[in-house]
Amino acid sequence: MPRSQIAKHPADFPVPPKMPDYERARADFTWEAVRRELTDEGCADLNMARIAVDRHADANAERPALRVTDRHFRVEDLSYGELRARTNGFADLLCRLGVQPGEVVATLLGRIPALYTAALGTLKNQGLYCPLFTAFGPEPLRQRLQLAGARVLVTTLPLYRRKIASLRKDLPHLKHVLLADADAGHDALPDCLPLEGLLAESDREFAIPPTAEETPALLHFTSGTTGQPKGAVQSHGAILAQYASSRLVLDLGTEDRFWCTADPGWVTGTVYGILGPLSTGSTLILDPEPFEVRRWYRILEAERVSVWYTAPTAIRMLMRAGSALAREYDLSALRLAASVGEPLNPEAVVWGEEALGRPFHDTWWQTETGAVMIANYPSQDIRPGSMGRPLPGVEAAIVHRRGAHAAAVPEPDTEGELALRSPWPSMFRAYLGETRRYAACFADGWYLTGDLARRDADGYFWFVGRGDDLIKTSGHLIGPFEVENVLMEHRGVAEAGVVGKPDPIAGQVVKAFVALRKGFDGDEGLRRELLGHARRRLGAAVAPKELEFRQSLPKTRSGKIMRRLLRAEEKGEPMGDLSSLDDSG
């Protein structure tokens, strides 16, 4: 692993960097100080939406909060004052619809203003905000909406027709579907309501009920290796870590134009696509269009993006298009580029420096951690290939598990499981309805992340791999179990095993191995049929890209499919002697 460093550029910081001395910042840091900074004297109200929106609207209502581009690069600004009014309107609407605090409001939306209105308005009404991914097919959506017991869904007419309408009968809890694109006063469908029309009738004032730090706020589904998806719940107090990391990791402030390219259906889309950056008073650049190399460079240039948060898959696609293309654009406004979601190879860090004039700063976190926990800070030297060092206020370690115990390994450069000392403000407070599964994530005061890593002698962490079977494809976490279940629905399938196959652009692609029942032929027609079935049920983002037939799949003595062996085979590693393996795989 390269140990070279990319030195920071002092001239890049016209404003002094937020953390000139890392060790000192760690020593001086307290969450209490962050709490004091964000709340009024003597008032412990920690409502996320108040901190993200109203606090800034009160100071300067005119400052742009959202800058929305359209397909033709025309832009429209929405000020903090307008966002306050719209989110008040949404909270008022929820009240009028009889939606109670604690009930789940889900969104199935791209990056359009309605998303921000619904997310922040829900938080003002103390609802639980649950984003869903628009590239999911009906099956993952049904499962998540059911598990969440969602009361309200905000979506668009085409998404409703394609993915939700047929599920409605399976969702008795879902009382209201609000369509963001239906005309005011015009009921697009009999069982849906027009969002904009109702907002126009709503009160633009809303008294946010006093919100305690532990009031539940966010619900993000993340995949498990077995069983149903897990609903990780964060409370309003998570805003402390989301704000602190937006300042220290992303260096954000009121002068910044910040672009987070993450899809709003995943945790990064909520935490750094909405809450963290707004809490610093910066302006969010929103592009509802899909990835396209030239389009992205044009946005960076035209919108004078100063801080950019993106993912390795996108960076690799930009790299493939070449650095000459990047240099055609004026990216002089860009002072910080950061990455998250998958391992960032050292070449990508260096390429950023060459092509964009800025190296990529890697950052690490998970749905469960609620905010960045480990990072290469803008004010510090980057160690290419390393995830960086823990956020001040957070203690990270490499631990070894023994039975129900976990012990920190003091020696540097030892591989083990990455663990974080519990708790911190944005730590998940529950897996919805699954106390045991939640408790199993903790041992001896540590939250166990499931990732394997090393820590070097200087305290930098290096990602080694996942300790489980989950697949990261284009930065999205996919559970093999969900995919296997859908393949098993087909009458020809006897066994299915799903793994991540290494891919130069997406990091991993979803690959299925299938053993057929007697009487079925593993020919091209059936292969296509199965891939088509999976795509219809799961959506393009989750369905396997490749499918291979096998006579049988490797199993443990108790009959569990050993994905680890299928994975090793994909990497060209020897399968070893199957007979000697037991259930520990």
Q: How far apart are alpha carbons 554 and 578 in whole angstroms?
A: 8
Per CB under 6 A, contacts with ligand 6R9 among 166-225 are 222
Q: Indicate the residue among 92 and 570 with the shorter CB distance to ligand 6R9.
A: 570
Q: What's the one-letter identity of residue 55? A: R
For the packed helices 480-488 and 138-148, what is the interaxial angle rounded to 10 degrees?
120
Q: Which stretch binds ligand 6R9 (CB under 6 A): 37-45, 48-56, 99-107, 340-348?
A: 340-348
Q: Indicate the residue among 79 and 473 with the shorter CB distance to ligand 6R9.
A: 473
In this structure, the chain runs to a length of 585
Give the angle subtended at the CA of 526 by the CAs of 523 and 531, to the nearest 5°.
Answer: 125
**Four-CA torsion 105, 110, 114, 119, nearest 10 degrees:** 40
User: If binding is defined by CB under 6 A, does position 417 make contact with ligand 6R9?
Assistant: no
Q: Indicate the residue among 305 and 344 with the shorter CB distance to ligand 6R9.
A: 344
Q: Give the nearest distance from C-beta 115 to ligand 6R9 in angstroms.
A: 18
User: If binding is defined by CB under 6 A, does position 538 make contact with ligand 6R9?
Assistant: no
**Four-CA torsion 18, 22, 28, 34, nearest 10 degrees:** 40
Among candidates 527, 490, 492, which has minimal Cα distance to 512? 527
Q: Which stretch binds ligand 6R9 (CB under 6 A): 178-186, 284-292, 334-342, 428-436?
A: 334-342
User: If binding is defined by CB under 6 A, does position 267 make contact with ligand 6R9?
Assistant: yes
Q: How far apart are alpha carbons 196 and 178 in whole angstroms?
A: 9
The binder of ligand 6R9 chosen from 197, 253, 343, 346 (CB under 6 A): 343
User: If binding is defined by CB under 6 A, does position 463 make contact with ligand 6R9?
Assistant: yes
User: If binding is defined by CB under 6 A, does position 367 make contact with ligand 6R9?
Assistant: yes
In sequence order, what DSSP letters do the residues of 395-442 get, joined into one string? -EEEEEEETTEEEE--STT--EEEEEES--TTS--EETT-HHHHHTTE
Q: Indicate the residue among 179 and 274 with the shorter CB distance to ligand 6R9.
A: 274
Question: Which H/E stretch holds residue 501?
Answer: strand 493-503
Q: Give the nearest distance from C-beta 255 to ligand 6R9 in angstroms.
A: 26
Q: Give the nearest distance from C-beta 479 to ligand 6R9 in angstroms.
A: 11
Q: Give the nearest distance from C-beta 27 to ligand 6R9 in angstroms.
A: 25
The binder of ligand 6R9 chosen from 123, 305, 318, 387 (CB under 6 A): 387
Q: How far apart are alpha carbons 273 and 286 in whole angstroms?
A: 9
The binder of ligand 6R9 chosen from 64, 81, 341, 500 (CB under 6 A): 341
Task: Tell how strand 405-408 and strand 360-364 pair up.
Answer: unpaired
Q: Give the nearest distance from C-beta 392 to ligand 6R9 in angstroms.
A: 18
Q: How far apart are alpha carbons 542 and 204 in whole angstroms?
A: 40
User: If binding is defined by CB under 6 A, does position 362 make contact with ligand 6R9?
Assistant: yes
Q: Which stretch binds ligand 6R9 (CB under 6 A): 5-13, 73-81, 263-271, 405-413?
A: 263-271
Q: How far apart are alpha carbons 5 and 525 in whole angstroms?
A: 52
| Residue ranges that bind ligand 6R9, judged by CB under 6 A | 222, 266-268, 340-344, 362-367, 387, 449, 451, 463, 466, 472, 477
